[in-house]
């Protein structure tokens, strides 16, 4: 899995799938009477969690890659 997540295109596809899944779940739960603000908060929190605490984004969060040395 680590080798698969090394490709930025694959990570982008995974992020899109995670976003689609979170939105789908919140829309299904919307039928129970939740407000738009709570649904938006849930989507934002879910996406922030995935960006920070999973290796889907190598630029931020716990799995960020080390910065390359600057060329002088």
Which residue has better confidence, 69 or 49? 49
At residue 59, the pLDDT reads 72
Residue 32 has what pLDDT?
66
Q: Which of 48, 42, 43, 46 lies closest to 61, judged by CA?
A: 48
Instruction: Yes or no: say if 19 and 47 are a contact pair by the CB < 8 Å rule.
Output: yes
Domain ranges of the chain: 14-53
Kindly tell me if the per-residue pLDDT of 71 is higher than 60.
Answer: no
The residue assigned the tokens 């990570």 is 11
pLDDT for the residue numbered 46: 81
Q: Quick one: pLDDT at residue 34?
A: 64
Can you tell me the distance from the alpha carbon of 11 to that of 30, in angstroms, rounded to the nearest whole number?
28
């Amino acid at each position: 899995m680590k080798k698969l997540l090394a490709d930025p295109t694959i990570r982008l596809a995974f992020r899109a799938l995670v976003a689609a899944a979170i939105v789908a779940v919140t829309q299904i739960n919307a039928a129970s009477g939740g407000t738009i603000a709570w649904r938006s908060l849930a989507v934002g929190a879910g996406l922030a969690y995935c960006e920070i605490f999973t290796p889907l984004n190598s630029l931020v969060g716990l799995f960020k890659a080390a910065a390359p040395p600057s060329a002088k």
